[in-house]
Chains A and B, each alone.
Chain A
Amino acid sequence: MEWETVIGLEVHVQLSTHSKLFSGSATKFGAAPNTQANIYDLALPGTLPVLNKAALAMAVRFGVAIGAEISKRSVFDRKNYFYPDLPKGYQVSQLDYPIVGKGSLTVALEDGTEKVIGITRAHMEEDAGKSLHQEFPGMSGIDLNRAGTPLLEIVSEPDIRSAKEAVAYLKKLHAIIRYLDISDGNMAQGSMRCDANVSIRPVGTTEFGNRAEIKNINSFRFVEKAINYEIQRQQGVIEDGGRVVQETRLYDADKNETRSMRSKEVANDYRYFPEPDLLPIVIDDAFIDSIRAELPELPDAKKARFCREYGLSEYDAGVLVSTREMADYYEVVAKQSGDTKLAANWVTVELQGLLNKNNWEINDSPIQADRLATLISRIQDNTISGKLAKTVFETMIEDSAGVDAIIKEKGLQQVTDAGAIEKLVDEVIANNQAQVAQYRAGKEKVFGFFVGQAMKASKGKANPAQLNQLLKEKLK
């Protein structure tokens, strides 16, 4: 039987506010345990929450960016359960009236087509703390630094049909939250976490199969692997005559498998009810409009503009806008060098290769945009050849000196002096009479041989256009 996969994603994004959702504690990553937890975060008796307006603004910013409905009135609820890293015994979240309603995200698929993935809702909630088990043999430690950190939970419709689509959706979401500057989106540090609801059904049917919820997958690669594993597992279960159980499963990256969490851990009745310590959040059009007015250019708009203004291909533009930093970097290179296409080439090929090789973000690049722009300018003004520019580029990684200084020091300037080139050409012709005879007998392919010899003799520095022209004249 042929199967269709149905996936819905719940993504938790940590909002990059300076303080927590309901308290003034700092939210920096990596601080010593319990140094960023105040009396509210510790749930001391008598303490009360006060909403961080910056978190609200970020949530609305996201909603506006994906064209979603923004609730003029939204409500916080208490989600009740006992766990040592949940100090109040309830998590303040939003159930029936989330701040962001229906919206959508358009993702580019590998086959070049686009797909619209529906977003059901996005709501604000507070994060829990962390339980530390390894550090304390026979006991558990609790670190409440993370407790109360603002999260935006973004829930997609079950519109996703493959692991690859899921990753495309996540990458797009990641790009948007980074563009909006509402989260650092760092998956390794847990700033963006993903739960995937996966089910399968026979192709052509419309009813949903029983789904498994895979919890807390912390990289794009693991999302793809976890989903693919899960699809295989569910197919196996059904094809063996079994039934998929609706349950929560945990992805184990080391073993590349998902496994069932004990039902005890998930059989919770959360007893949601409206949080009486907070009034409903009421916002007006003016507030929403002011946020809309401050929205940055988003990836899709930027991509379209890059194609239009800089004459780039869809593909190159798509690569360049994948992060806001990359796009900003490219624009500096393009504008300063004046050659938009060459700039795109260098950024997407050489620079991207460098970043990938070293696992760097663009901000870590030892070659800043203005230096790359100068290098490209030197190709354009014939100071160096494109080939030698790569040598300069390599040097620039280690050497923070100016591009011109490096070219000079290494003696890589292109030879454009007609006399010098003529001398080279004459030597090559004189030393290769046999090939000259072949060429003149009509074997034009030999021409490349002369170019290669002359280039070699110039140590690659001869201006190729001049060289070609002179060779042609002399070989006539």
Chain B
Amino acid sequence: MIDKTVAELSVALAAGDISSVELTQAYLDRIARYNDDLNAFITVCEESALDQAKAADLARANGDTSPLLGIPLAHKDIFCTKGITTTCGSRMLQNFVSPYDATVVERFSAAGTVMLGKTNMDEFAMGSSNETSFFGPVRNPWDLSRVPGGSSGGSAAAVAADLCAMATGTDTGGSIRQPAAFCGITGFKPSYGRVSRWGMIAFASSLDQAGSLSKSAEDAALMMNVMAGLDSKDSTSVDTEAVDYSATLNDSLEGLRIGIPKQHFAEGLSAEVESAIRTALLEYEKLGAKVKEISLPNNHLSVSAYYVVAPAEASANLSRYDGVRYGYRCENPVDLEDMYKRTRSEGFGDEVKRRIMVGTYALSAGFYDAYYRKAQKIRRLVKNDFTNAFKEVDVVIGPTSPHTAFELGANSDPVAMYLEDIYTIAVNLAGLPAISIPAGSANGLPIGMHIVAGDFEEAKLLNVAHQFQRQTDWHLSKPTTLGMGA
């Protein structure tokens, strides 16, 4: 049962084939057995999970038919959870117990889901391999010597290894989609503003967006039905009409116009990934879609612009970790300055410190125009590229990542690591919705296909992804490690 999709589990729970307590226990057992191998969870909430499962079973007995009632999930440890440690993958927050729930967490609780625990992540979501976590790297269930991607690597690995039915994640430059691609699952990043950021620990406020990691696009739609919507506590959350993301999953793709950005099929893309994506596109043509090449002429600038904007915002967002009110404080500071310096030197890891320094520099007097202001201009150009593209096509499709999951420790150069997100970053700069779905494999490792739609076209995007998953079974393939695929 644990390998089923949320949609299937929802049916099984409703039919009484299994109880939420049984299901929850099954996941907890698997976590107990395999988390040491994967390091996907930072915190496991065994007791409260079983309590929530019991409550869900009771609610069902009393007539509650909420679709996600009793479904066990995991939250990325970037979402504040009341009474439970929320670390953001950092020593700085190793002992931080949040006194409140993030809106995302609150909405899943209200929907009757069961929280199994908090998943590992790159420190403050800064990384593309999950190697920057203070709690150690997460391993890829397809090959334990490889990375799961990042920053939502724990969530992706947990879903791929059936340690939970679904998981939340956040995506600032590709942090949901790239690990979804590496772990062979479905990773969905909604439009900026679609899901509340309240209680989601900030990395880069204008780019951060919560989303889902799941076993199918259909599950992503079910999760969106819970997560999305206006929140008065987040001034950047968007007030749009409520959408039933499941309702249009089966719309026909006849006449769908797909754009293939030539810049995403250029130098740097591995042959096996290119071949997998081109093959996948044939499936779409079978479904009646028309594929044409398009251009995103400013795409090559997006990584540079991103690595100014994101660190700049991060440099301010992370100033609150000063040892004064909560979180890590160095031992025996001699004075205020010593406390600041040592708290932040000892509490943050190298990648976080690197980005704080880059961001501080970019905002400094005399450099602001050359870096931050210019990056914001590029951001508008990148957005315009997509606006122009969507005049001609309905969705843009390409690879999520240039290659499959790499070995732990293989990518030690920060700049090379930054280029991991070359296909995904522009989407965050433009605030668009995008999804990565499994679309092939090479040497036993999954390959992700990246689909981008226009602003607030999430329903269309999920429809396009779901139709592919009806046609193919890449999303159903499982790793053979950790007792799976036996």
With a cutoff of 8 Å between Cβ atoms, the chain B residues found around residue A279 in the complex are 235-236
Of A42, A44, A90, A278, most buried by chain B (CB within 10 Å of CB) is A44
**Could you tell me the dominant secondary structure of chain A's interface residues?**
loop
A262 at the binding interface (Cβ < 8 Å): no
> For the complex, what is the distance from the CA of A50 to the CA of B234, rounded to whole Å?
7
Q: Which one of A78-86, A314-322, A354-362 is at the interface? A: A78-86
> For the complex, what is the distance from the CA of A43 to the CA of B318, rounded to whole Å?
10
Are B198 and A46 in touch, CB under 8 angstroms?
A: yes
Also in contact, A46 and B363, with CB within 8 A (given A51-B235, A82-B319, A84-B324): no
Q: Within the complex, what minimum Cβ distance (angstroms) separates B361 from chain A?
A: 9
With a cutoff of 8 Å between Cβ atoms, the chain B residues found around residue A44 in the complex are 80, 98-100, 326
B56 at the binding interface (Cβ < 8 Å): no
Also in contact, A42 and B325, with CB within 8 A (given A273-B363, A276-B205): yes
Are A277 and B205 in touch, CB under 8 angstroms?
A: yes
234-285 of chain B: CB within 8 A of chain A? 234-236
Query: On chain B, which size bracket covers the interface?
Result: 35 or more
Within 8 Å by CB of B365, from A39, A47, A82, A269, lies A269
With a cutoff of 8 Å between Cβ atoms, the chain B residues found around residue A90 in the complex are 316, 319
Are A48 and B365 in touch, CB under 8 angstroms?
A: no
Known: A50-B232, A50-B233. 4 other contacts (CB 8 A): A51-B235, A87-B320, A271-B316, A277-B235
70-105 of chain B: CB within 8 A of chain A? 79-80, 86, 88, 93, 96, 98-100, 102
> For the complex, what is the distance from the CA of A48 to the CA of B93, rounded to whole Å?
18
B458 at the binding interface (Cβ < 8 Å): no
Are A43 and B325 in touch, CB under 8 angstroms?
A: yes
> For the complex, what is the distance from the CA of A95 to the CA of B86, rounded to whole Å?
34
| Residues of A in contact with B (beta carbons under 8 Å apart) | 39, 42-51, 78, 80, 82, 84, 87-90, 140, 142, 269, 271-273, 276-279
| Residues of B in contact with A (beta carbons under 8 Å apart) | 79-80, 86, 88, 93, 96, 98-100, 102, 197-202, 204-206, 232-236, 312-313, 315-316, 318-320, 322, 324-326, 336, 340, 360, 363-365, 368, 372
Are B319 and A271 in touch, CB under 8 angstroms?
A: no
> For the complex, what is the distance from the CA of A197 to the CA of B336, rounded to whole Å?
30
With a cutoff of 8 Å between Cβ atoms, the chain B residues found around residue A272 in the complex are 363
Are B316 and A87 in touch, CB under 8 angstroms?
A: no
Also in contact, A48 and B234, with CB within 8 A (given A80-B319, A273-B372, A276-B205): yes
Are B316 and A89 in touch, CB under 8 angstroms?
A: yes
With a cutoff of 8 Å between Cβ atoms, the chain B residues found around residue A45 in the complex are 80, 86, 88, 93, 96, 98, 201-202, 320
Q: Within the complex, what minimum Cβ distance (angstroms) separates A77 from chain B?
A: 10
Within 8 Å by CB of B316, from A47, A78, A142, lies A78
With a cutoff of 8 Å between Cβ atoms, the chain A residues found around residue B102 in the complex are 46
Q: Within the complex, what minimum Cβ distance (angstroms) separates A371 from chain B?
A: 50
Are B360 and A271 in touch, CB under 8 angstroms?
A: yes
Within 8 Å by CB of B363, from A43, A49, A271, lies A271
With a cutoff of 8 Å between Cβ atoms, the chain A residues found around residue B199 in the complex are 46-47
Of A82, A269, A271, most buried by chain B (CB within 10 Å of CB) is A271
> For the complex, what is the distance from the CA of A272 to the CA of B363, rounded to whole Å?
7
> For the complex, what is the distance from the CA of A46 to the CA of B88, rounded to whole Å?
11
Are A48 and B363 in touch, CB under 8 angstroms?
A: no
Q: Within the complex, what minimum Cβ distance (angstroms) separates A145 from chain B?
A: 14
Also in contact, A80 and B316, with CB within 8 A (given A48-B233, A87-B325, A279-B235): yes
> For the complex, what is the distance from the CA of A90 to the CA of B322, rounded to whole Å?
12
